[in-house]
Structure formats: C-alpha cells, structure tokens
Amino acid sequence: MRYLFLIIVVYLLSACTKCKPDDSNPELNYLSVKLQPFFGMDSLYLDSSYITTEGYRVKFTDIKCFFTDVNNNNKLLSDAVLYDFRESGNLLFQEEGVLEDFNNLRFVIGVDSLLNHSDPSAFPNESPLNISNAGTMHWGWNPGYIFISIEGKIDTLANSSSTFDKNFSFHVGTDSFIGEKNIANVNWQSINSNEHSLNLKLDMQLFLNGSTNSINLSNEFITHSSASQDVLTNKVQENFIEAISQ
C-alpha cells in the first residue's frame, strides 16, 4: 500500500510540473540597427571606384566610427558600438529592446569626455572601448579615441592609367568634435514577431558634398584633428553626421 501511495504522489508531482508555465525561457525581443554605405544612388563597396563632383575617381578603403549612448529619452539601447564596415559589414548592433520604447533614437558620434580619457585597458573585455577591440581607433600618441576614421585613394590626374596618385586620411577625435545624430519616427522593419530592424543609410557622396560644406579631396586630404586642421576636421564631422539618414 505504501508503494502505491508513493507512485500516486510521484505522478501528481510530475503532472503539476508539466502543467506549470515554464518561465525559464521567455521570448526576448531584439532590435538591430544596420548602416549601409552608398555613393549617391549606388551601394558603396570598399576598394571600388566612384566619381566625385569634381570629376576625380575615388575609392574608400576604410570606414569606421564609434557610436555611443544610443538611447531614447534616457532609455538606453546600446552603450557603445564600433562600426567597422570592412570587418563587420553593415551591422551596427543587435540588442534586447522593446519596440515601443525606441520610436526615436539619439546616437552620440564619438566618445564622451569622461570615457574618452579613461584607461582603455580597463573596460570589460567585450566592450568595443577596450583597447583590444578598439585597436587603431585609439590614439597611442594622443589621449582618447578616434571617433570617425575614413581613408581612401583619389585619382586627380584623370589620365588613362589606373593610378590613384593621392591617399586621403580623415581621423576625427578630441572632445571638441564629439557629435550626435537624432533619428525621429524610426521606421522599424519587422523581421519576425520578436525581432525588428532599422536600416540606416550612409551616403559618402553627401559626405564629400554636404549641404553646407564640400570636401575637395585634391587639396583637402588629411586631418588628425590637430588645432591647425580644425577647418577640415569640422567639415568631416559635420558632413559625416549629415550623411546618415533613414
């Protein structure tokens, strides 16, 4: 009789366990943001040739940028992202998030002054701000991070050869050139019931010829954000921000 009682108890416990809702694996909601480079209407590929407004052939070899404090009304979606088009393609990040919390987005382009002057080896190993992940996006000779890095080559000779006679290198950093981008009325695209994606555009033709500033690569081809390069650094920073859109 005792064995029969034990069998009934085990059965009842098993039945209760099966009926109880499983809270161990709740469905998570993910929001992903992508940044796709273009040159005007054309998709941009690194190392491919495009024609500038001045008629020069140009090719981009590197596009990198730090985005930090991605939020909406102080609701944080991502604390820091290193965009590296060559290494990671167009994906900025994928994070857990509730869609309704992020109908608008604010990006800091760069790294705020407190973090910018922190020890880069002290960040968690998985952080893009850790020196092992930031790599060349942190100045070894100058305190702080490189916020925007755009590099490439240009053919100003316009002859029949394939020679690209000049390199250009834009490295924007220092506390003076931190910026931000606001995306209103975010157009989230449904991937499935638990994932939505925002596709942003980076127009590198607009980067060279913004609504306020134009960059002529034949004579404006280098800045490392020193005081003597403020005019060009400001153009690069403002045009890069303007070039980002939905």
Where in the chain are the domains? 29-245
pLDDT at 160: 59
Element (H, E) at 244: strand 244-245
pLDDT at 27: 78
pLDDT at 137: 97
pLDDT at 9: 41
Nearest one of 160, 158, 154, 173 to 221, comparing CA atoms: 154
Residues near 87 by Cβ (< 8 Å), separated by ≥ 6? none
Q: What is the pTM of this model?
A: 0.88
Q: Is 63 helix (H, G, I), strand (E, B) or coil?
A: strand
Nearest one of 154, 189, 192, 187 to 170, comparing CA atoms: 154
Residues in the chain predicted with pLDDT less than 50, given as ranges, are: 1-13, 17-20
pLDDT at 157: 85
